[in-house]
Structure 1
Amino acid sequence: MVSAAQAHPWKLVGPWYRWERAALPSSGRQSAPALQKFAGGEFIADFLAQPQRSLKFDPQVDVVSHIGLLPAGVGAGQLKDKLSALFLSQLKTENGKTREVPIKPTDVTAAILKNIYRSRLVPSTLRKLYLPLHDRHYLVVCELHCDVPGFPSVARNEVCQAGFVVRRRQRVVPAHKANQAAALAQAVRVIEAELAELQELAPLRDDLAMKRKAAIAALKQLGQFEAVLAKLEQQRAEAEATMQAFFQQAGIGVRIEGWYPRCQDGKPSKTLGRWQLAEEAAAEGALAGDEHVFPLFPLVPDPREAGHDAAGRTIYYGVVPADALQYEPDGRKRFDDVATYQIQCFVRRHKPGLAKHVGEAKYCCCERVWSAPTEPYRLAASFDSLGCANRPITIKMPDLRELAAQVAARPRGKLSPVRIIQPQQLKPKVSDTSVSGGSLEGAAICFFSIPLITIVALFVLHIFLPIVVLIFQLWFLLLLRFCIPPRIQFGGALDAKLAAQPPSMDFDADFSVAMSNLPAGDVDFDLNGQVLDAAALNARLKTHLIKRMAEDGQLPEAKIALDAFSNNALVPLNQSYEDAKNQPQDPEQAPAGSDFAAGLEYEPRREPEWVLQGGRG
C-alpha cells in the first residue's frame, strides 16, 4: 500500500478480472469501469461473495437492435401473402427527405418492385440494459491503483468519498446537415442488415430461417462464404469511414450532459432537474459540483478468505439506476429508452488533518480522480418482449365452482371489495347477445369482485384477439401466445391409439386403425379384434362423449347433440376430457413449464496473470 503523503497519482480503472489480461498492470491502466449483469433479487450478496460470477452479455439479446431494410427479393405473386406485407416497405424521397412507407399487397405494381424492402431486426454494438422488472440488475465496478511502477492498490482509508454520475450522450447535428447524415447512417445500416442476414445474428427467427441456412450452406460448399463475408465487412468499414469523415467535416459531435437537480428552498430537489452541460448549469447559478451523484460502496472481502477476488485490492461497486422518480420541468423522465447514457466513476483523495465527509460530500475540497467512462448503453422499454420473457408470471383464473360456493356462503357484498365511483353511468343495452344501444344515467357507486373483473377481462381478450389479428392482418401476434399441453395419461385403449396418430391426421377421411393388438376388457368401447374406419370412429366418439358430458355437467343425455360434429372436432374434445380427468388434484403437482433459468450463462472465472509478492497486486 502507498500512503497519501507520498502523493502518487491515482488511477481509477476496471476490476482486474475484466482486464484483457487479468491483473497485468499494463493491461489495466487504460481500462474503464465494468458493467456486470445479474439475475435474481440477491445479486448484491452474490457479488460480494463472488465478484467475478456475473452473467455474460449476449451479443444478440444484450444490445440495441434497429430495423434494417433489405431488398425484398420477391415477385408480385409472393407479395400477396398477408403476413409478409406487414414487413414490406418502399423508400420514397420527397423534398430532399427519404422516408419509409409501408406497402399493402393491393398497392404493389411492377414499377415499384425494384424499390421494395423488407424489415429485419439487426443487432448493433450499443449495450442494452434491462430493467429490474425484467429480473435483470447491473453493477458498475471499478478498482483504485497508484499510477506508479507495479500498479499497487491504494489503501481504502485514503479515500474520502467514492461515487459515480450518469451522463447522457446526444449527437449534435446541424439542421441543414441532418438529411445527408441520415442517408449516410442508412447506408451503413443496410450493409449491417445484409451482414446480419448472412451471419444469422438476428435475435428473433422467422419462417425463412431454414431457407437462409440452406443458402449459407450452399455458399460454404462453393467456397464463397468467406469471400462474400469479407466483401460485406469491407463495404461496412468504407461506409462507416465515409460517415465519420462527414461527421468530422460537418462538425457533428457528441454532447455529454449531466443531471443537475433543480434548486428548491435552497436545497436540491429530489424529483425535478434538468440534463445540462456543466457550463450551462453554472451559468444558471448552479455549481459544477451540484451534479447528482450516486454512491459507490467498497467491496470488503472476508479476511478469512485469502483467495477472494477482492483480497489485497481496493474495489468499489454501485447499483446502476435503471429508473428514477425524477423528471424535467416539462414532465419528461430522467431515464428513458430513447437516450444513450454512460457512467463515470470518481474517488476523492482524503487530505490529512481534515474530517472525512459522509454521503454525497458536494462541497468537499479534496482532490477528485475520475475514471474513464463506461461503454455507452441504452435502457430497455418496460414492455420489451425479450426483457419481459426473463420474469415468468403465473395468473390462475378463478374456479367457477369455488366462486359459486363462496357466494352461497357469504352475505351479498362481502366478496366485492373494489369500489367504483361513477359521476355518470354509461349503461349499455344488451339484446340477446349483442349491444343494441346505451344510455347516460346519473351517479352511482358499484362494487365488484376481483375474480369477476379477471374473468371478464380474459373473456374480452379471447374475443378481441382474433378480431385484431383479422382486421390488421397481424398473424404473427398469434406466435406470442404459447400453450404448454398438460401431461397426458391415457385411460382408454382408443385414447391411446388416437394420441399415437400424427397431428396432421384427417380423422374424417383417412383414419383407419386396427384394435386387435389392444388389451381386452375396455369398458367403454370393447374394441378387441375390431377395425375402426372414419364412420365407426364417429359413432363411438359420440356415444363416449355424450356419456362423459352428461356425467360431468349433470345433464340428461338426450339434451346433448353431437350430430353436427366431425371426427376432427370430436377427437381433440375427447382427448381434452381425458387430460382433465387425469390431471393431478394438487396444484403443486401441476406439469412444469419452460425452464427460464436454463439459458443463463456466467462469465468464466479468471486467475491473475501477474501477482506481487505477498498479495495480488
Structure 2
Amino acid sequence: MLVGPWYRWLQPGIPAAGRFSRPIFQKYAASDFVSRFLEEPQRSLIYRDEDFVHEVRANGASVYSLSKKSYVKAQPELRKLFLDVHSRFYLVACELHCDAPGFPSVKREAVCEAGFVIRRRIVRVAPEARQELAEVQRQIAAARARIAKLRGASSFGGRLGRSFNGVCQDKLAKLQEEVKAGQRRLKELRRAEQIRYALEGWVPSQKSADLGAWRAIETEPQIVTEAILPLYPLIPAESDTHHSAHKRSIWFGVVPTSGAATDEGGQPRFDERSVYQVHCFVRRHNPACPKTSARSDCKGELVWSTPTERYQLAAHFDLEGTSNRTVTVQLPDLNALEAQADSLRPGQAAGVRMVSPPGSSLDFKVDGDNTPTLADPKRPRGGASICFFAIPLITIVAMFVLQLFLPIVVSLFQLWFLLLLKFCIPPAFSIDAGLAAAMELEGPELDIEASVQAKIDAQGVLNIGGHTISSVEEFKELLKSKFDEKGDHLHPEVRQGLIDAFGDDLNALGKLALDMATDFSADAPPGLREALEEPDPATAAVKGRLPSVTDKLVYYQRVEPPNL
C-alpha cells in the first residue's frame, strides 16, 4: 500500500491510521526545498487560509467598502498551489507499506520503478442538460448573492428592532432553501448521468516532448501511457537513527506548477482553471529479473496510491502569491542623472538599443496646437533607424505614464478598488552615502582597540575563554591563533568569552564580527545576532509599518514515532 508519510497520519505512526491516509503535498518557501526535505522531511510550511482556492461573491457586508465583491473559500474547499514565481515550492511525499498485520514497511529493494502522474478532473454535461444546468447554476449564484446582501443588512440594522431581524431571518431561510433545492437538482442530474466526472491524463506526443494532449485514462492502469514524473527514495544515513525516514520507505517527488508543454492548439498543459490530482505508483520488482534503468523492465505489478487532495494552480498575478516576493524598482536620482549626462558623450550612457527595420519606423508630427499626431497615413513609414536609450530614461517615462493614467483609469471605469493596490510611505530618514564613507575612513579597529583597552583599564586584566589578556597586542594575537584554518570560525570558548566580555558593548562586538569574519550565527545567545544587525535608518520606519513575508513562514513541529 502506498500511503501518506507516517508523520502526517491522523495519529502519527499508528498503523490503523496509516491505512486510510494518502500522499501529501509539502510546501516550502526556498528553492533549496529538496535539501531541506532530505535533512528533515517533517519540516515544511503549515497551510494557511491563503492556500485554499477562493471564489468571488457579492459583498453586502459594509457600505464603506470600495468593492462590491468579497473573496471567500470555494465550496467544496480546494487546495491552491502557488507558482515558482511566488516563491513557493511543493513536494509530494508518500510511504510504502505491506498490507499485513502490523503494517510493516516495504524495503526499497523491492521496488524497481516509482513515479507519479498528474491528472485533471473535468465535468462532462449531456447536450440536452446544458440549458437546465446553466439555469440551476444561475439560480444558486443569485440566491447566494442575495444571502450575502441580506446578512450584511441584518448586521447593519441589528439595532432597528426585533421585527426587522425577524423579516431578515425569514427571507434568509427561504433563500437557503433555494440553494439546497438547486443542489438537489444537480445531484439528480448526476444520478441520471446527465452530468459525469471524467479523469484525464496528459499523454505526450510522439512528434515532440513539448507537445501532448489530455486523454481519458483508466484510474489504475498496469501500462502507463501518461507523462510520468519521478519519485525518489529518501535514504538517510544508517547512523542517523533520529531521522524521520529511519527504517522506513519514504518516497518524494517535485510537483510542477508550470511547464512548456502544450497541446497542438497551443493550450498549456497547466492552467489556473482546471482541477488536478496526483496519483503515485511503485512497481513491485521481480527478483528473477535484474534491475535496469528502463521502465517496466521486469513487468512487475504496479501498486497505485489513493489520489492526493484536489488542487488548482494560483493565477500568475494572485495578490497573495506576488506578496511573497516583493520586487524593488529603484527610481533614478534626477540630480545625479543631470550631472552625469552633461559629462558623457551622446550614446555613451545608452543601456537599450532599439533597431527599427526599413519601413517600420513610427514618425510623429506636431500640429499647430502642439498636439502630437501620427504622420499622414498615405505617406510611407520611415526608413531604418537605430536609437539608443538610457535605462533611467525609460524608467522615468514609465513612472510618469503610470502616475498620469492611474487616476484616469480608476475614474473612467469606476475601478476604485485599484486604490487598495497602491501604498506609498516616504522614508523617515536618509543618510548621505558620502558621510557613511567618511565615517568608515576612521577604521573600525579603533573602536575595538578602544573597547579592549577600556576593559583592561577597568578590570586590570581581561579574561577571554580562559586566556588572560593584559594588552591590545595580546588580544590580537589570541584572535589570530584561535581561528580555524579557513579563518571563518573562532574557537567556541573564545567566542563565548568575547560575548561575555563585550555583551554590553554591541558596537565593539559588531565591529569585531565584521573585521575578523567571526561567525556568531551558529551558537550565539538568543537575541545577540538581532542586536548586532542594526536597522537601516532609511527603511526602519517603512519596515515597521509593513507586514513581513516571514510572518507566513510557520513550520510543522517535529513529532516522534510512537513506541509500538
TM-score by length of 1: 0.64
The equivalences for 1:98-113 within 5 A come to none
Q: Quote the Cα distance in structure 2 between the aligned partners of 1:132 and 1:157.
A: 34
Question: Partner amino acid for 2:261?
Answer: Q
- Residue from 55, 79, 95 that aligns with 1:66: 55
Corresponding residue number in structure 1 for 2:241: 306
Partners of 1:339 and 1:479 lie apart in 2 by 29
1:598 and 2:551 matched: yes
Counterpart secondary structure, 2:238: coil
The aligned runs of 1:356-505 (5 Å cut-off) are: 356-358=291-293, 361=295, 365-423=299-357, 424-430=360-366, 435-439=371-375, 440-487=381-428
1:245 & 1:293 partners in 2: Cα distance?
37
* 2:72 aligns with one of 122, 144, 147: 122
Q: Who is 2:526 aligned against? A: none
Name the structure 2 match of 1:15. Answer: 5
Q: Per residue, is there more strand in 1 or in 2?
A: 1
Output the CA distance in 1 between the equivalents of 2:389 and 2:81.
Answer: 39
- 1:122 is displaced (CA, Å) by 2.7
- Equivalent position to 2:111, from 154, 159, 170: 159
Which residue identity is paired with 1:120? S
Partner of 1:181: 133
What number of residue pairs does the alignment pair up? 445
Whole-angstrom CA distance in 1 between matches of 2:180 and 2:539: 56
Counterpart selection for 2:15 from 17, 25, 39: 25
User: What SS does the corresponding residue of 1:289 show, helix, strand or coil?
Assistant: coil
1:319 deviation in Å? 0.9
Cα distance in 2, alignment partners of residues 191 and 139 from structure 1? 39
Q: Distance in 1 between matches of 2:169 and 2:251?
A: 44
Q: For residue 129 of structure 1, what is the amino acid of its counterpart?
A: L
CA distance in 1, matches of 2:166, 2:10: 34
1:420–1:587 Cα change, 3 Å: farther
Alignment deviations for residues 504-555 of structure 1 (CA, whole Å, 9 cap, x no partner): xxxxxxxxxxxxxxxxxxxxxxxxxxxxxxxxxxxxxxxxxxxxxxxxxxxx
Distance apart, 1:460 and its partner CA: 0.6
Question: Which residue number corresponds to residue 351 of structure 1?
Answer: 286
1:270 maps to which of 199, 209, 212: 209
Can you list the C-alpha shifts for 1:350-401, whole angstroms capped at 9, x where unaligned?
A: 1113222326x15651221110111111111111122111111111011122
For the 8 Å contact 1:122–1:193, the answer to whether it is kept is no
Cα separation, 2, equivalents of 1:62 and 1:365? 40
Counterpart amino acid of residue 52 in structure 1: Q
Deviates more, 1:331-340 or 1:407-416: 407-416
Aligned to 1:518: none
Q: Which amino acid aligns with 1:462?
A: Q
Contact 1:122 1:196 in 2 (8 A): no
2:112 partner SS: strand
Q: CA RMSD in A?
A: 3.8
Structure 1 residues 193-214: Cα deviation after superposition (integer angstroms, max 9, x where no partner): 6788899xxxxxxxx89x9599
Aligned AA (1:68): R
Q: Closer, same or farther in 2 for the Cα pair 1:356/1:237, shift >3 Å?
A: farther
Q: Is the 8 A contact 1:83 1:473 kept in 2?
A: no
Asked whether the 8 Å contact 1:68–1:190 carries over to 2, the reply is no
**Contact 2:58/2:149 (CA < 8 Å) preserved in 1?**
no
From 192, 196, 205, the counterpart of 1:249: 192
Q: Secondary structure at the match of 2:362?
A: strand
Question: Within 2, Cα distance between the matches of 1:375 and 1:196?
Answer: 29
Counterpart of 1:599, as a letter, is K
1:138 counterpart letter in structure 2: Y
Q: Tell me if structure 1 keeps the 8 A contact 2:113–2:296.
A: no
* Gap change, CA 1:43 and 1:231, over 3 Å in 2: farther
Deviation by residue 1:154-183 (Cα, 9 ceiling, x = unmatched):
011111011100011110111221232234
Inter-CA distance 590–416: structure 2 relative to 1 (3 Å threshold): farther
| Unmatched tracts of structure 2, length 5 or more | 376-380, 431-534
Distance, in Å, in 1 between the alignment partners of 2:149 and 2:280 is: 38
1:321 matched to 2:311? The reply is no
Matching of residue 292 in structure 1 with residue 227 in structure 2:
yes
1:303-361 deviation digits (Å, cap 9, x = unpaired): 343232222211111111101110100100111111111100001111113222326x1
Deviation string, structure 1 residues 406-429 (Cα, Å, up to 9, x no partner):
333433222213221223222333
The structure 2 residue matched to 1:35, chosen from 1, 25, 29, is: 25
Q: Distance in 1 between matches of 2:9 and 2:267?
A: 37
User: Which stretch of the first structure deviates more once superposed, 333-342 or 46-55?
Assistant: 46-55
> What is the SS of the residue equivalent to 2:53?
strand
**Alpha-carbon deviation of 1:24?**
1.5
Give, in whole Å, the separation in 2 of the partners of 1:34 and 1:377. 12
CA distance in 1, matches of 2:173, 2:324: 36
Tell me if the contact between 1:419 and 1:446 (Cα under 8 Å) persists in the aligned partners.
yes
Q: Which residue of 2 aligns with 1:140?
A: 92
User: Following the alignment from structure 1 to structure 2, what is the Cα–Cα distance between the partners of residues 233 and 161?
Assistant: 51
Tell whether 2:31 aligns with 1:45.
no
- After superposition, the C-alpha distances for 1:416-452 in whole angstroms (9 at most, x for unaligned) are 1322122322233357995332324222121112221
Structure 1 residue 231, shift from structure 2 partner: 10
1:566: which partner in 2? none
Indicate how the Cα distance of structure 1 residues 223 and 27 shifts in structure 2: closer, same or farther if over 3 A, else same.
Answer: farther
Cα offset, 1:248, TM superposition: 1.5
In the alignment, structure 1 segments of 5+ residues that lack a partner are: 1-10, 88-118, 200-207, 490-583, 613-617
Does the 8 Å CA contact 1:273/1:327 hold for their aligned counterparts? yes
* Secondary structure in structure 2 of the residue aligned to 1:270: coil
SS, match of residue 426 in structure 1: coil
Distance, in Å, in 2 between the alignment partners of 1:167 and 1:400 is: 54
The separation in 1 between residues aligned to 2:110 and 2:260, in whole angstroms, is 34
Against the structure 1 CA distance between its residues 386 and 455, is the aligned structure 2 distance closer, same or farther, given a 3 Å change threshold?
Answer: same
Residues 117 and 228 in structure 2, CA contact (< 8 A), matched pair in contact too: yes
Aligned counterparts of 1:586 and 1:186: Cα–Cα separation in 2: 55
Residue by residue, what CA displacement relative to the aligned partner does 1:135-166 show, whole Å, maximum 9, x if unpaired?
11111111100000100000111110111000
Task: Give the Cα–Cα distance (whole angstroms) in 2 for the partners of residues 43 and 148 of structure 1.
Answer: 34
Instruction: Identify if the C-alpha distance between structure 1 residues 194 and 324 changes in structure 2 by more than 3 Å, giving closer, same or farther.
Output: same
Change (3 A) 1:158 1:585: closer
For 1:142, the aligned partner's letter is: C
Higher RCO (C-alpha under 8 Å, 6+ residues apart): 1
Equivalent AA in structure 2 for residue 484 of structure 1: I
Retained in 2: the 8 A contact 1:69–1:190? no
- Aligned-partner Cα distance in 1 for 2:140–2:292: 50
